[in-house]
A and B are shown apart, each in its own frame.
Chain A
Amino acid sequence: MSLLEEPISELARGLRAREFSSVELTQVALSEIEAKDGAVGAFLRTTGSAALEQARAADRHLAADPGGASTLCGIPVAYKDVLCTKGVETTAGSRILEGFVPPYSATAVLRLEAAGAVGLGKLNCDEFAMGSSNENSAFQETRNPWDLGRVPGGSSGGSAAAVAARMACATLGSDTGGSIRLPASFCGVVGVKPSYGRVSRYGLIPFASSLDQIGPLTKTVEDAAQVLEVIAGRDSRDSTSAVAPVGDLTELLRGGVEGLRLGMPGEYLAMDLDPGVRSVFDHAARELEAAGARLIPVSLPSTEYALAAYYVLAPAEVSSNLARMDGVRFGPGFASASSLTEAYEQARHRGFGPEVRRRILLGTYVLSSGYYDAYYLRAQKVRTLVAQDFERVFSEVDAVISPTAPSAAFRLGERVADPLAMYATDILTIPANLAGISGISVPAGFAAGLPVGLQVLGPHLGEGVCLRVAAAVEEAAALWRKVPAPTPHERRLA
Chain B
Amino acid sequence: MSSYECVIGLEVHAQLLTRSKMFCGCRADYLGLPPNSNTCPVCLGLPGALPVINQRAIEYTIRTALALNCQIPEFTKFDRKNYFYPDLPKGYQISQYDLPLSLGGYLEFEVDGVLQRAGITRVHLEEDAGTLHHAGEIQASAFSLVDLNRAGVPLMEIVGEPDLRAPNQAPAYLAALRQTLIYLGVNDGNMEEGSLRCDANVSLRPVGADALGAKVEVKNMNSFRSIQRALEFEVGRQTELLDQGMPIAQETRGWSELEQVTVSQRSKEGAQEYRYFPEPDLPPLLVTRELVEDLRGQLPELPLPKRTRLQTRYGLSLDQARILADRPADADYFEAVVAAGAAPRTAANWQIQNLQALCNAAHVQVEECLVPAAALAELVQMVEADRVSGSVAKNVLSEAFGSGASPAQLIRERGLGQLSDSTEIANLVDQVLAGNAQAAADYQAGKDQALGALVGEVMARSGRKANPKIVNQLLRERLPR
Contact = CB atoms under 8 A, between A and B. Distances in A.
Nearest to B148: A329
Interface of B: 41, 44-53, 80, 82, 84-86, 89-92, 146, 273, 275-277, 280-283
A209 to B, nearest CB: 4
Nearest to B282: A239
Contact of B277 (A92, A205, A316, A322): A316
B277 A376 contact: yes
B41 A320 contact: no
B50 A238 contact: yes
Which of A82, A84, A90, A236 is packed against the most chain B CB atoms within 10 Å? A84
Task: State the majority secondary structure of interface residues on A.
Answer: loop
Interface string A84-105: 1000001010000100101110
A323 B45 CA distance: 10
B84 A326 contact: yes
15 contacts: A84-B48, A97-B47, A104-B41, A202-B48, A205-B47, A237-B52, A238-B50, A240-B282, A323-B84, A328-B86, A329-B89, A340-B85, A369-B273, A372-B275, A376-B277
A330 B46 CA distance: 9
B92 A328 contact: no
Contacts of A328: 86, 89, 146
A176 to B, nearest CB: 12
A237 B50 contact: yes
Given A209-B281, A239-B283, A368 B273 contact: yes
Given A323-B84, A344-B84, A367-B82, A100 B91 contact: no
Contact of A106 (B48, B80, B89, B92): B48
Contacts of B275: 319-320, 364, 367-369, 372
Contacts of A364: 275
| Interface size classification for chain A | 35 or more
A346 interface: no
A210 B80 CA distance: 13
A203 interface: yes
Contacts of A97: 47
B35 to A, nearest CB: 13
A97 B41 CA distance: 15
B46 A320 contact: no
A340 B47 contact: no
Given A236-B52, A320-B275, A364-B275, A206 B47 contact: yes
Contacts of A320: 80, 82, 91-92, 275, 277
Interface string A334-365: 00000010001000000000000000000010
Contacts of B146: 328-329
A204 interface: yes
A326 to B, nearest CB: 6
Contacts of B51: 239
Nearest to A209: B280
B280 A329 contact: no
Interface in A196-238: 201-206, 208-210, 236-238
A324 interface: yes
A409 B150 CA distance: 50
A317 interface: yes
A106 B47 CA distance: 10
Given A209-B281, A210-B280, A323 B49 contact: no
A195 B80 CA distance: 24
B130 to A, nearest CB: 10
A210 B281 CA distance: 7
Contacts of A103: 41, 46
Given A82-B48, A329-B45, A367-B82, 20 more contacts: A83-B48, A84-B47, A104-B46, A106-B48, A202-B49, A202-B50, A206-B47, A208-B280, A236-B52, A237-B52, A238-B50, A316-B277, A320-B82, A328-B86, A329-B46, A329-B89, A344-B84, A364-B275, A368-B275, A372-B277
A368 to B, nearest CB: 6
A210 B51 CA distance: 14
A340 B48 contact: no
A61 B213 CA distance: 75
Contacts of B273: 368-369
Contacts of B84: 323, 326, 340, 344
B277 A100 contact: no
Contacts of A236: 52
A326 B91 CA distance: 8
Contacts of B90: 323-324
Contacts of A206: 47-48
A317 B50 contact: no
A239 B281 contact: yes
Contacts of B281: 209, 239-240
